Amino acid sequence: MDFLSYDIVIVGSGIAGLRAAIEASRANRKLRIAVITKVQAMRSHSVSAEGGTAAALYPEKGDSVESHVYDTVKGSDFLADQDAVERLCSMMPTEVYQLEHWGMPWSRNEDGRLAQRPFGGYSFPRAVFASDKVGFFEMQTLYDTALKYANIEFLQEWFVTSIVYDDSRFQGLTAIEMKSGDFYAIKAKAGIIATGGPGRLYSFATYGHSSTAEGLAMVYRAGIPLKDMEFVQFHPTGLVPSGILITEGARGDGGVLINKDGERFMARYAPEKKDLAARDVVSRAIMDEINQGRGVKSEGLEHVYIDLRHLGAEKIKERLSTIREIAIKFNNIDPVNTLIPVRPVCHYFMGGIDTNIDGATKLSGLWAAGECACVSVNGANRMGANSTAECLVWGKITGSEAAKYAAKSSGEISKQAVEQEQKRIHDGIFHGKGGENPYEIKKEMQRIMDRYVYVYRDGEGLSQALKLIRGLKKRAYRHVDDRSSEYNTNFTNVLELDANLEVSEAVVAGALARTESRGAHARVDYPKRDDAKWLKHTLAYYSSDGPKLDYTAVVITKYKPAERKY
Ligand SMILES: Cc1cc2nc3c(=O)[nH]c(=O)nc-3n(C[C@H](O)[C@H](O)[C@H](O)COP(=O)(O)OP(=O)(O)OC[C@H]3O[C@@H](n4cnc5c(N)ncnc54)[C@H](O)[C@@H]3O)c2cc1C
Choose the weakest-confidence range: 115-124, 229-238, 473-482, 555-564.
Answer: 473-482
344 near 278, Cβ under 8 Å?
Answer: no
Q: What is the pLDDT of residues 255-271, one digit of tens each?
A: 999 999 999 999 999 99
Q: Is the CB–ligand 1 distance for residue 11 below 6 Å?
A: yes
Spatial distance between the Cα atoms of 68 and 52, rounded to a whole number of angstroms: 14
The reported pLDDT for the residue numbered 433 is: 79
Asked whether residue 299 carries a pLDDT value surpassing 90, the answer given is no
Spatial distance between the Cα atoms of 156 and 37, rounded to a whole number of angstroms: 5
Q: Is the CB–ligand 1 distance for residue 370 below 6 Å?
A: yes
Sheet of 536-541: strand order equals 373-374, 352-354, 226-227, 536-541, 548-553
Average pLDDT, integer, range 382-406: 98
251, 319, 347, 518: which one is catalytic? 251
The reported pLDDT for the residue numbered 505 is: 98
Domain boundaries, the chain: 236-344, 416-534
Q: What is the pLDDT of residues 39-80, one digit of tens each?
A: 999 999 999 998 899 999 999 999 999 999 999 999 999 999
Spatial distance between the Cα atoms of 122 and 73, rounded to a whole number of angstroms: 11
Residue 478: pLDDT band by 50, 70, 90 thresholds? confident
Q: Does domain 416-534 have CATH number 1.10.10.10?
A: no
Task: Please provide the DSSP assignment of 91-107 as one string.
Answer: HHHHHHHHHHHHT----
pTM over cut 0.85: yes
45, 117, 235, 514: which one is catalytic? 235
pLDDT > 90 in the chain, percent = 92
Q: What is the pLDDT of residues 130-142, one digit of tens each?
A: 988 999 999 999 9
Please give the single-letter amino acid code of residue 34.
Answer: A
Residue 475: pLDDT band by 50, 70, 90 thresholds? confident
Asked whether residue 1 carries a pLDDT value surpassing 80, the answer given is no
The third-level CATH classification (topology) of the domain covering 236-344 is Flavocytochrome C3; Chain A, domain 1 (3.90.700)
Task: Please provide the DSSP assignment of 212-228 as one string.
Answer: -SHHHHHHHHTTPPEES
Residue 404: pLDDT band by 50, 70, 90 thresholds? very high
Q: What is the H or E stretch that residue 138 is in?
A: helix 134-147
The reported pLDDT for the residue numbered 316 is: 95
Residue 410: pLDDT band by 50, 70, 90 thresholds? confident
Ligand 1 centre distance from Cα of residue 225 (Å): 21
Asked whether residue 434 carries a pLDDT value surpassing 80, the answer given is no
Residue 492: pLDDT band by 50, 70, 90 thresholds? very high
Is residue 235 among the annotated active site residues? yes
The reported pLDDT for the residue numbered 346 is: 98
Choose the weakest-confidence range: 186-190, 199-203, 337-341, 411-415.
Answer: 411-415
The reported pLDDT for the residue numbered 521 is: 98
Ligand 1 centre distance from Cα of residue 533 (Å): 33
| Ligand 1 mutation pick, 195, 330, 349, 390, max ligand atoms within 8 A of CB | 195
Measured from the CA of 161, which atom of ligand 1 is nearest?
41
Ligand 1 centre distance from Cα of residue 144 (Å): 18
Average pLDDT, integer, range 344-361: 98
Q: What is the pLDDT of residues 147-172, one digit of tens each?
A: 999 999 999 999 999 999 998 899 99
The reported pLDDT for the residue numbered 249 is: 87
42 near 139, Cβ under 8 Å?
Answer: yes
Spatial distance between the Cα atoms of 461 and 508, rounded to a whole number of angstroms: 10
231 near 379, Cβ under 8 Å?
Answer: yes
Average pLDDT, integer, range 209-225: 97
Spatial distance between the Cα atoms of 288 and 306, rounded to a whole number of angstroms: 16
Asked whether residue 356 carries a pLDDT value surpassing 90, the answer given is yes
If one counts every other C-beta atom within 10 angstroms of the C-beta of residue 314, the result is 9
For 509-523, b/e burial (b = at least 16 CB within 10 A) is: bbbbebebbbbbbbb
